[in-house]
Amino acid sequence: MSPTLPPFYQQLPYQADSRHYFERIRHLPWPVLLDSTQNSTQDNRYDIMAADPFVTLRATDTQTIIKHRSGEQVSSEQDPFQLLQQQFEKFPLQQMTSLPFCGGAIGHFAYDLGRRIEQLPNIAVDNEHTAHMLVGLYDWAIITDHKLQQTYLASYGLDPETQQQWSKLLDLISASKSHSPPAKMTVSGIISSELDFEHYQVAFNKIKRYIHEGDCYQVNLAKRFEVHADGDPWHAYTLLRQQNAAPFSAFFSTPELTILSSSPERLLKVHNRRVETKPIKGTRRRDLSDSSRDQALADELSRSIKDRAENLMIVDLLRNDLGKVCEPGSIKVPKPFALESFATVHHLVSTITGHLAEQQNALSLLRACFPGGSITGAPKLRAMEIIEELEPERRGAYCGSMAYIGFDGNMDSNILIRTLVYNRHKLRLWAGGGIVADSNMEDEYQEVHDKAAALLSLLEQLR
């Protein structure tokens, strides 16, 4: 069957490594790579590359700045999700194609964007000083399908400049040589964290007390690491994707910050109004030096009553979130507690599906489920209040999402875990885990470091 393609497209030579094409466009404004790390499974087989958005939105806790090619506007009152939806409403809904994305919004929704949805206390220190939402409207994208081994430049042609510059864009992408190689990134000094073992123990005990008193059932407690860094973050990302390949990886660079993500977790997917979310709860480290031991750890996780119960709490939370925007009776859990193995850890992953109600769309779904339940706890609002109380510093991008929302109404998004954020000559990373009534403090603290291991190893390699 021949593919259904958008009005403007050009098939390009297939490259197994999408760096080949991304390095030709990453000098353009706001370059983004949504990276499957050469995965060829049906579920996640595409790489999406884009740059030079014709509209950008930057939201903080007080205002949203919308920049067009001809000027900008500022909104201090409206919800950033609604402002983004208004940009979509300027264009007719486009026909779906065989490609996952031919134009639309791509960007970063920070965990702290949740402050525009819920009333939260102001306790943790904001050392991030970054926007809560950075999203561009992109009119073209390079799509690589690793299953069919095909690559396309694709566009709906909604920005007139795309049509005018199409031949130049093709020349740029087809150039025999890429732009100059990245300057190496180096880190120096100590890797610091405000949440050492002693402070983690204090926070852990407070969460156990809240659970005992009936305030909550589960709270995700995260630890933040920071180190001085200089150079080109693309260099760091090329190493990260080799060493910790993950199906929802991403590289996104703006003048304000750069995100380097090797996330294993999907937040939300929408295709033809069918919704899917895949929360992760339950972790064991891998032992790749001993296959028998590695399998034993995987089997232990699969049988763990505690980890299944922890996962079930988040499944119930997400079913409730989906229920706000999905058709009644459409929400199912076709695949609970599946074992999935990644570069450094095993995880329990559940799959929840639904169907969008008639008046809802991808952005209203994203808002209804934001931030993701697997990285907050249950009930969500109380867990977020406790996180604000006990984590010394704001999360910023961590546990937010990188997402695309197409002009065809489809969406896919990750949760920004196993992620580095670079700006102001600092590289920062976080790792966390869900604490429940029968959690053991030493085990939970070790799990945090197991999850951070690949990123901390990368930092040492960059010295």
Q: 181 pLDDT exceeds 80? A: no
Region 40-58: mean pLDDT is 88
Q: 39 pLDDT exceeds 90? A: no
Beta strands in 396-452 (DSSP E): 401-406, 411-414, 419-423, 426-435
Q: What is the pLDDT of residue 3?
A: 76
Tokens standing for residue 326? 């999905």
Beta bridge partners of 261: 250, 419
pLDDT tens for 264-309 read: 999 999 999 999 999 999 999 999 899 999 999 999 999 999 999 9
pLDDT tens for 344-370 read: 899 999 999 999 999 999 999 999 999
Read off the pLDDT band of 187 (50, 70, 90). Answer: very high
Assess if residue 418 is contained within a domain: yes
Q: 223 pLDDT exceeds 60? A: yes
Q: What is the distance in angstroms between the CA of the first residue and the CA of the last residue of the chain?
A: 51
Q: What is the pLDDT of residue 118?
A: 92
Assess if residue 2 is contained within a domain: no
Please tell me the distance from the alpha carbon of residue 36 to that of residue 40, in angstroms, as a whole number.
8
**Coil, helix or strand for 163?**
helix
Q: 428 pLDDT exceeds 80? A: yes
**Coil, helix or strand for 390?**
helix
For the chain, percent helix, then strand, then coil, each to nearest 5?
30, 35, 40
Read off the pLDDT band of 64 (50, 70, 90). Answer: very high
- Kindly state the helix (H) or strand (E) to which residue 126 belongs, with its residue range: none
Q: What is the pLDDT of residue 183?
A: 85
Query: What is the rounded average pLDDT for all residues in the chain?
Result: 95
Looking at beta carbons, which pairs linking 292-300 to residues 24 or more positions away fall under 8 Å?
Answer: 297/346, 298/339, 298/341, 298/346
Assess if residue 286 is contained within a domain: yes
Which of 315, 435, 373, 400 shows the shortest CA–CA distance to 381?
Answer: 373
Q: What is the pLDDT of residue 225?
A: 98
Tokens standing for residue 6? 């958008």
Region 189-205: mean pLDDT is 96
Region 401-418: mean pLDDT is 98
Q: What is the pLDDT of residue 176?
A: 73
Please tell me the distance from the alpha carbon of residue 377 to that of residue 436, in angstroms, as a whole number.
9
Q: Which of 128, 265, 391, 444 is catalytic?
A: 265
Assess if residue 255 is contained within a domain: yes
Tokens standing for residue 97? 């194609």
Assess if residue 3 is contained within a domain: no
Q: 311 pLDDT exceeds 90? A: yes
Read off the pLDDT band of 179 (50, 70, 90). Answer: low
Q: What is the pLDDT of residue 294?
A: 95
Q: What is the pLDDT of residue 91?
A: 97
Region 55-67: mean pLDDT is 96
Region 209-220: mean pLDDT is 97
Distances (CA, A) of 216 to 237, 372, 385, 435: 37, 16, 11, 10
Question: Catalytic: 208?
Answer: no
Read off the pLDDT band of 79 (50, 70, 90). Answer: very high
Q: Which of 223, 269, 278, 281 is catalytic?
A: 281
Q: What is the pLDDT of residue 2?
A: 65
Assess if residue 368 is contained within a domain: yes
With a pLDDT cut of 90, the percent of the chain lying above it is: 93
Region 209-218: mean pLDDT is 97
Find where tokens 């299944």 sit.
Answer: 308
Q: What sign has the CA pseudo-torsion 371, 374, 376, 380?
A: positive
Please tell me the distance from the alpha carbon of residue 29 to that of residue 212, in angstroms, as a whole number.
50
pLDDT tens for 320-343 read: 999 999 999 999 999 999 999 988
Q: What is the pLDDT of residue 42?
A: 56
**Residue 150, φ and ψ in degrees, nearest 5:** -135, 150
Q: What is the pLDDT of residue 123?
A: 97
Residue count (the chain): 463
CB within 8 Å of 272: residues ≥ 6 apart: 96, 410
Question: Catalytic: 276?
Answer: no
Tokens standing for residue 98? 């065989």
Q: 178 pLDDT exceeds 60? A: no
Tally of domains in the chain: 1
Q: What is the pLDDT of residue 41?
A: 60
Looking at beta carbons, which pairs linking 167-176 to residues 24 or more positions away fall under 8 Å?
Answer: 169/140, 170/10, 172/24, 172/25, 173/12, 173/21, 173/24, 173/25, 173/142, 174/12, 175/24
The DSSP symbol for 117 reads T
Find where tokens 């929408």 sit.
Answer: 270
Tokens standing for residue 451? 């999850």
Residues 394 and 107: beta-carbon distance below 8 Å: no
Assess if residue 37 is contained within a domain: yes
Q: 117 pLDDT exceeds 80? A: yes
The domain in which residue 265 lies consists of 8-461
Q: What is the pLDDT of residue 318?
A: 96
CATH number at residue 302: 3.60.120.10
Q: What is the pLDDT of residue 361?
A: 98
Q: What is the pLDDT of residue 77?
A: 86
Assess if residue 1 is contained within a domain: no
* C-alpha atoms less than 13 angstroms from C-alpha of 415 in its C-beta half-sphere: 24
pLDDT tens for 370-401 read: 999 999 999 999 999 999 999 999 999 999 99
